[in-house]
Amino acid sequence: MALTLDDVQRAAHLARIAVDDAEAGATLVQLTRVFGMIEQMQAVDVSGIEPMSHAQDLALRLRPDVVTEADQRDRFQAVAPEVEAGLYLVPKVIE
Amino acid sequence: MSNATLKELSVQLAAGACSSVELSRDFINKINNLNKVLGCFITVDTERTLAQAKSADAQRAAGRAGPLTGVPLAHKDIFCAKNWLTTCGSRMLANFVAPYDAHVVERCDAAGMVTLGKTNMDEFAMGSSNETSYFGPVRNPWNRDVVPGGSSGGSAAAVAARLAPAATGTDTGGSIRQPAALTGICGLKPTYGVVSRYGMIAFASSLDQAGPMARSAEDLGMLLNVMAGHDPRDSTSLERPAEDYNRSLEKPLLGLRIGLPREFFAAGLTPDVQRAVEAAVAEYKKLGATVVDISLPNMELSVPVYYVLAPAEASSNLSRFDGVRYGHRAAEYTDLMDMYKRSRAEGFGAEVKRRILIGTYVLSHGYYDAYYIRAQKLRRLIAGDFVQAFKQCDVIMGPTSPTTAFKLGEKSADPVQMYLSDIYTIAVNLAGLPGMSIPCGFDGGGLPVGLQIIGNYFDEAGMLNVAHQYQLVTDWHQHAPKGIA
């Protein structure tokens, strides 16, 4: 499998990272090396093996459905780029 | 005083030989002298440190001191510490003052420990040389032209340079053990789930685990006793009874079975590292241990599997940095999409972007089964190798890293070469096992070599026993870089 510039641009769009053409070219060279190494995986027969998503097979704990967090809006918004009246400001998305 | 171990400092404070304020001042002075050259710390805050030290002294005066009350330590800048700048080594968080404490920080504070500062690290813990930090590289105290390893490079170099008696670190693919090896200190990555990840900025959540970095096995145990413990705020934190990780330090090693995986001594291992590790094994035989030849046949797959799974998890975890609620926002943009894209392009460095793109690609439509699911299946094979191996031995030993510390810039052009620096450590994270590194010698150029000790699940106390017994009969862990101590 050979990666292309289109693959890089598509992944960059999905990841919401601006990449210009020069950067995409350099990234393609690096990613091609990394995927060359990753290709080793394809040589192994994996039929019948269950995917392992986690080091310990844990069941998620349940907790009572009650409020546990105090209101810390002001503290959390103190580190936000732009807020007004307790709301996060972003560019207009609906005309 | 600042050359003392945690254990010694604990004794001195208890005996009244010094106060926490005096001790903390001593370390702060050393940090002020050396940090410009070494770059170990991103943030120091003398006032805050001394206030904490003062309150530790008051606690002791009131008769409420624990073993580590008043003992200073440094925290890797991946841990949120309330009102401290917490950058994770990234421009994205260059102005982020954490509004709350990580569980690890809470535990250290509750034990009366004093925070000396926040240590430098590879950006978002992605790196093996500490060169990806937005705040500049860390230099190795043994030789300032070489790297300290990474990603916990600032913590490792600070402990090696005696700027802190101990530090916290995190290890996703070797980020505690590899820098510990490259700077001649000790570091332990516990079994996955032993230390809470709450407030620890996430890289690859199924692999990330915090642990102690210090100068002796005994010190690691003392700090792990503080760091470990159940925390309901981390869904993967394990509910286990509290244990004293130093409870079996004095146990003789007669009859200990050490597994040596063939794959750890194959091509790629440098001769100096091999010699030092073999000499350490010979020392263990003198202590009564026996050696078992074992195999981890799927070891070579661990690097490719890791570089699918870790970036996949990272691409999801790092999607939270969007320039809306916290972190960097671009100054100029045309619309919301442009704001996301520019903020992330500016806020993340090259290696972080590379890994986000790898992760996004392997999770994208049409590639998910071929990469992500296949890697998860191989992860089970790799973990299974260890289960088989531990039927024949009590601990596994080998090199921590194939080489000693390399020159700054030497591997930054080729990501794959850099990734191979963690070839012996990654499989341990994939399996979720505990692993540690202790100093076991030097190469021809005077750079430290690390011995890796891998234990079975929850056998941290057994590993610390194995390391401590070696440190009773050798002095590699007591060497200090020239001009230090």
- Please indicate, yes or no, whether the overall pTM of this predicted structure exceeds 0.95: yes
Q: Is residue A59 part of a domain?
A: no
The amino acid sitting at B231 is D
- What's B192's domain CATH number? 3.90.1300.10
Q: Is residue B75 domain-shared with residue B210, that is, in the same domain?
A: yes
Residue from A16, A23, A14, A78 nearest B339 by CA? A16
Q: Is residue B323 domain-shared with residue B249, that is, in the same domain?
A: no
Pairing of strands B72-76, B114-119: parallel
Going B247 to B250 to B254 to B256, the CA torsion angle's sign is positive
Containing domain of residue B353, as a range?
Answer: 300-378
Per-residue pLDDT, A1: 63
Q: Is the pLDDT of residue A95 over 80?
A: no
- The angle subtended at Cα B352 by Cα B153 and Cα B237, nearest 5°, is 70
Q: Is A12 on the interface with B (CB under 8 A)?
A: yes
Residue at a domain's end among B378, B395, B418: B378
Pairing of strands A83-84, A87-88: antiparallel
Cβ contacts (< 8 Å) between A92 and chain B: which residues?
335
Cα B330 to chain center, whole Å?
32
Q: Is residue B92 part of a domain?
A: yes
Residue of A28, A90, A94, A95 to mutate for B, most B C-beta atoms under 10 A: A90
Cβ contacts (< 8 Å) between B85 and chain A: which residues?
none
User: pLDDT digit string (tens) for B99-155?
Assistant: 999 999 999 999 999 999 999 999 999 999 999 999 999 999 999 999 999 999 999
Residue at a domain's end among B360, B378, B396: B378
Q: Is residue B124 domain-shared with residue B240, that is, in the same domain?
A: yes
Q: Is residue A80 part of a domain?
A: no
Q: Is A52 on the interface with B (CB under 8 A)?
A: yes
Q: Is residue B15 part of a domain?
A: yes
User: pLDDT digit string (tens) for A35-85?
Assistant: 999 999 999 999 999 999 888 777 778 889 999 888 999 999 999 999 999
List the structure tokens of B329: 């926002």
Q: Is A66 on the interface with B (CB under 8 A)?
A: no
Interface confidence (ipTM) of the complex: 0.95
Count of pairs with CB atoms under 8 A, one residue in A, one in B: 165
Number of domains into which chain B is organized: 2
Q: Is residue B118 part of a domain?
A: yes
The partner residues of B41 in beta bridges, in order of sequence, read B119
Residue from B31, B50, B51 nearest B164 by CA? B31
Per-residue pLDDT, A56: 79
Q: Is residue B44 domain-shared with residue B105, that is, in the same domain?
A: yes
Q: Is B76 a catalytic residue?
A: yes
Number of domains into which chain A is organized: 1
B99 contacts A30? CB cut-off 8 A? no
User: Could you tell me what percent of chain B has a pLDDT over 70?
Assistant: 99
Containing domain of residue A35, as a range?
Answer: 5-43
CA torsion A44-A50-A52-A57 (nearest 10°) is -150
User: pLDDT digit string (tens) for B416-442?
Assistant: 999 999 999 999 999 999 999 999 999
User: pLDDT digit string (tens) for B287-307?
Assistant: 999 999 999 999 999 999 999
Q: Is residue A51 part of a domain?
A: no
Residue of A4, A16, A89 to mutate for B, most B C-beta atoms under 10 A: A16
How many alpha carbons lie under 13 Å from residue B364 in its C-beta half-sphere? 16
Q: Is residue B131 part of a domain?
A: yes
Q: Is B353 a catalytic residue?
A: no
d(CA B440, CA B270): 15
B348 contacts A41? CB cut-off 8 A? no
Residue from B152, B202, B184 nearest B41 by CA? B152
Q: Is residue B72 part of a domain?
A: yes
A9 to chain B: closest CA residue: B357
Q: Is residue A67 part of a domain?
A: no
Residue at a domain's end among B324, B356, B378: B378
Going A71 to A73 to A78 to A80, the CA torsion angle's sign is positive
Q: Is residue B266 part of a domain?
A: no
Pairing of strands B290-294, B257-261: parallel
Q: Is A2 on the interface with B (CB under 8 A)?
A: no
Q: Is A59 on the interface with B (CB under 8 A)?
A: no
